[in-house]
Structure 1
Amino acid sequence: MLKKILFACFLLNMWVIVLAQTPTDYLSADFHKERRAILRLKMPKNSMAVIFANPIRNRANDVDYVYHQDPNFYYLTGFREPNAVLIIFSDNQKDAEGNSYNEIIYVPKRDSMFEMWNGKRLGVEGVKRELGFAMAKTSEEFATDAINFKSFDNVHILKFSDDYSNSLRDNGEIYDLVTAFKDQSGYHDMKIKNPNIQYIHKAIANLPDAKLGEVAKNLSQSLEIYPEYKEDTFIKAYISADNDGLRKELKQKIKLDLNKRETNIDFKFLQTALAEMREVKTIEELKLLTKAVRISAIGQIEVMKAMKPEMSETEIQGIHEFVYKKYGAEYEGYPSIVGAGNNGCVLHYIENNKTKVGKDLVLMDLGAEYRGYTADVTRTIPANGKFSPEQKAIYELVLKAQDAGIAACREGNPFWKPNVVSKEIINKGLLDLGIIKSLEEKHMYFPHGTSHHIGLDVHDPGTYGVFKENMVITVEPGIYIPEGSPCDKKWWGIAVRIEDDILITKNKPVNLSAEAPRTVENIEKMMAKKSVLDEFVLPELD
């Protein structure tokens, strides 16, 4: 008996040691449970939400990409494995034994052979124990449960991915889960599966007559953003109608068509509700997001100290990402951008294959992902440690625009305010430098907006209305003057972007990434410092 007790104690100690060697600062089970409760309160009566995990994506042959959970699924569950589905009900349901429940998660079953190759799964009991679900079942049970989706007034889903592959290995893969849902829910009977078009049809059907012309004008302006509108018969006819009489007729036709569709599947609710929830961060989220931002800022600092003209873009990228790993960040939040000289003029340049950065400015747009939350920090620095007069002139213009943009990040201000003030400053500065000839001149030297939300996604969802306390956004003005631009050649190949992650507060905005130097003077001072990597020399290879 004593031997059994000692052996049990040994196993318990080993388990404690294993737990101590893995991260413990993920979001809590209570956080995810609270998110589900908030979403449930937003849902219409007699409705259900069905959210699927991300598919596994193939890299080549029998090698898959490192798995990354769908951010919405993670936000609501904390589950980081594939092949799962979450159902949330607006109202309590009863099982066969009369037990009440309002949510179910379906997850892969435990499998010793699979786990020998790919690592431990939580399984049904693990999800109950560690993630706080009262009702969990295996993924294979999703199809056999035969849920009566058509008995609900609304079945809320998100737009499906188009890369669900069927490996034919078992019946609980995401391909099988999505297929079972489509077969049982009436999804195949839907005439229109594009959520944006479905939403527009419903909006037109419910429009007051006084708004018919105004909405037609707005739709016309949206064609470049949503080209799929051009392919829809009703929307095309509605835009081209030249009087409200025709628009009223089309409104009635759309109403009749909606009634014929006889579907309770809704694409819009979850998209809107989750955007409203995710755009404002909780204290628990802010702790993780701030750490991701600080890790990224420190990466910028270490690169400033280590930068040498003979370095390659790839090597510079590697230093950033080494710092991320040193702090325990699991991933990069997005493909790292390191563009020297003219390469910096490519906004999403990710080749990072220039072999020597020389005297160029090096634009470095990178962000660590820490426990699911990603930063987005950009610095632009001279590879040789000193800004040339032209580089300095452009840099200080962008910095001036960014300072004004950050100052505009006040609670209650419209989301687009930083963009407006930044563009005004940059256009005037480009005119003063002789790069453009008038304020009215159309140009592509600043082709993007300044701000987006960050969080579980680098471009986190949001309503993009007004700034609210505990939003975290970027402010990232830039100037890009590619070779061959219609201006003096001395400006060619200069690209500058400065991007910081800004917390909206009740008072003034807080720059979470301010640790990384931003001014010309402070960058040059940092670049003059000794780096711990100066003595890190590898042998030459042929």
Structure 2
Amino acid sequence: MAPDTLTYSSSPRPPAIGLDEYRRRRQALMAALPASSAVLMPAATLVTRSNDSEYTFRQDSDFHYLCGFPEPDALLLLLPGREEGEAILFCPDKDPTQEAWTGIRVGAEAAVERYGVDQAFANSERDERLAGLLDGRHSLYLPLGDDCAMALADEARQQLLARARQGARAPQALVDVAPLIHEQRLIKSDAELELMRHAARISARAHVRAMRSARPGLAEYQLQAELEHEFQWHGARAPAYSTIVGGGANACVLHYIENAAILDDSDLVLIDAGAEFELYAGDITRTFPVNGRFSDTQRSVYEIVLSAQIRAVEAVRPGVTLGEIHRGVVRDLTHGLIELGLLEGELDARIDDESYRRFYLHSTSHWLGLDVHDVGGARRDGEPRQLEPGMVLTVEPGLYIPADDDIPATLRGIGIRIEDDVAVTATGHEVLTTDVPKRVEEIEALMVDS
């Protein structure tokens, strides 16, 4: 199906995050630090795919959140209270010979104006300058699991310790900066929400295209191609995660990404796919019949999942916890499993003994943002975190019925998941992914009309 560019023209590209917002993020982080601290945050680096070929570069999410600088091997240094400027960027050198092969680099001079940092230096100056900039800072905040950050911090500390008799003072404490940044990232700004709405719209269009394209005899990877073509056509240069297209029993494998099987006329196909736009993720799952018509058995299982999903979406509002939403889903799905004859006995007993977990293995929600499984804890101060306006989460119940001998033949190998992206608002919630149908009648009408 050719992309519908006339329809898409009514959905303009949202503005990028502004420099003022990046400054506010850095200021908020520095305000959370104790006195005489510094932050050292490295960018992502290029990763070799094979021989001298690299994977497509994707910036580190935390680094991007603080400055938006798009190049590899950069370094952001925050020095609260420094009179000459608190935000210092080290970035790749301008090198016309190298740029002829790999593209134009921003360079230190342009980085100040284009990315709103106070000072910028070429990476060739980093080893000379870094230790001096950290001199006198008591605590150094950095991503403790990052080898590059740790190596830079260690080298700078060793240089300062060697100059201790001349009055140099090395940082005494290395502290993980990730929890502070991740707490900030959990609440999305208006600008972030606009980017996420756009990622969701593109993702929804791709799912609609896959529904319209599906037919018996296609390979799963051919539907993957339809999805990812739609992503790129509308400016989402990559999927937010590995696309899942699972026909038949493959849908029961939660992170199935082989996408190599042929779609059968009698199968359902589960697609879990989302576009990444300006590094913000969309994440949608839909399950639909390859031939465009649900069988009675497929519909009975699908309606159980759909009912649980709709109820869970409606539960999203400030003050609710992810655990409360999940427990409601577990109750609805377990009741459905008893109705199907896959579980026996009293509802509460089957919830208590967790026998439902044979068919529902995962949690109902995760945070969404710059990462598809976005950062931010589900607990705060030891208690379950309550939802707040600006949080974005997925709601994705599912049922996965194995093809085991004790399962009725008509139910074996049915896997169904339905997932939407939901933003918490002051009065309730906003579903970002309404542009792709999920009710049986809507899906069948779409597929028959195509």
The answer to whether the Cα contact below 8 Å between 2:263 and 2:290 also exists between their aligned partners in 1 is: no
* Pair 1:452 & 2:359 matched: no
Gapped runs of 5+ residues in structure 2? 1-12, 162-170, 379-384
Note if 1:30 corresponds to 2:20: yes
- The alpha carbon displacement at 1:302 in A equals 1.4
Using the TM superposition, give the Cα deviation of residue 356 of structure 1 relative to its aligned residue in structure 2, in angstroms.
3.1
The 5-angstrom pairing of residues 92-171 of structure 1 reads: 92-94=81-83, 100-147=84-131, 149=134, 151-161=136-146
Residue 340 (structure 1) aligned with residue 242 (structure 2): no
Decide which of 37, 48, 56 is 1:66's aligned counterpart.
56
Q: Is 1:484 aligned with 2:404?
A: yes
Q: 1:42 to 1:324 in 2, by over 3 A?
A: same
Letter in 1 for 2:154: K
For 1:159 and 1:93, the matched residues in 2 are separated by 24
Does structure 1 residue 284 correspond to structure 2 residue 191? yes
Rounded to whole Å, the distance in 1 between the matches of 2:104 and 2:405 is: 55
CA distance in 2, matches of 1:180, 1:275: 22
Distance 2:420 2:448 in 1: 23
Report the Cα distance in structure 1 between the residues aligned to 2:340 and 2:437, rounded to whole angstroms. Answer: 25
Query: What is the deviation of 1:263?
Result: 4.4
| Contact 2:217/2:264 (8 A) holds in 1 | yes
* 2:392 equivalent to 1:472: yes
Larger radius of gyration: 1
TM-score (structure 2 length as normaliser) = 0.88
The SS at the match of 1:184 is: helix
Superposed counterparts of 1:97-496, under 5 Å: 100-147=84-131, 149=134, 151-161=136-146, 179-185=151-157, 263-267=172-176, 270-438=177-345, 439=350, 440=353, 442=355, 443-464=357-378, 465-484=385-404, 486-496=406-416
- SS state of the match for residue 524, structure 1? helix
| Separation of aligned partners in 2, 1:263 and 1:496 | 53
Task: Output the CA distance in 1 between the equivalents of 2:267 and 2:143.
Answer: 44
1:45/1:497 CA distance change after superposition, 3 Å: same
TM-score by length of 1: 0.74
Q: 1:178 to 1:109 in 2, by over 3 A?
A: farther
Name the residue aligned to 1:76: 66
Quick one: which amino acid aligns to residue 518 of structure 1? K
Task: Write the distance in 1 (CA, Å) between the matches of 2:263 and 2:172.
Answer: 59
Aligned AA for 1:66?
A: T
1:511 aligns with 2:446: no
Q: Does 1:56 align with 2:40?
A: no
Bigger mean CA deviation after superposition, 438-447 or 49-58? 438-447
Question: 1:473–1:501: 8 Å Cα contact kept in structure 2?
Answer: yes
| Cα root mean square deviation, aligned | 1.9
Kept after mapping to 2: 8 A contact 1:152/1:264: no
Q: CA deviation at 1:146?
A: 4.4
Q: What do the CA deviations read for 1:241-272 (whole angstroms, capped 9, x no partner)?
A: xxxxxxxxxxxxxxxxxxxxx940012xx222
Q: Any stretches of 5+ residues in structure 1 without a counterpart?
A: 1-22, 95-99, 163-174, 190-261, 531-542
Any idea what SS the aligned residue of 1:422 has? helix
Identity across the alignment (%): 33
Q: Post-superposition shift, 1:506?
A: 1.4
DSSP 3-state at the match of 2:449: coil
Q: Are the equivalent residues in 2 in contact too, given 1:52–1:84 (CA < 8 A)?
A: yes
The worse-fitting range, judged by mean Cα deviation, of 368-377 and 433-442 is 433-442
Q: Deviations over 1:178-227 (max 9, x none)?
A: 5332222369x9xxxxxxxxxxxxxxxxxxxxxxxxxxxxxxxxxxxxxx
Question: Contact conserved, 2:249 with 2:413, CA < 8 A, in 1?
Answer: yes
Q: Hey, what's the Cα distance between the residues in 2 that align with 1:115 and 1:357?
A: 49
Secondary structure in 2 matching 1:413: coil
Is 2:138–2:172's contact at 8 Å kept on the other side of the alignment? no
CA distance in 2, matches of 1:484, 1:388: 20
In the aligned structure 1, how far is the partner of 2:366 from the partner of 2:28? 24
For residues 441 and 410 of structure 1, do their structure 2 counterparts lie closer, same or farther at Cα, with a shift above 3 Å needed?
Answer: closer
Shift of 1:489: 2.3
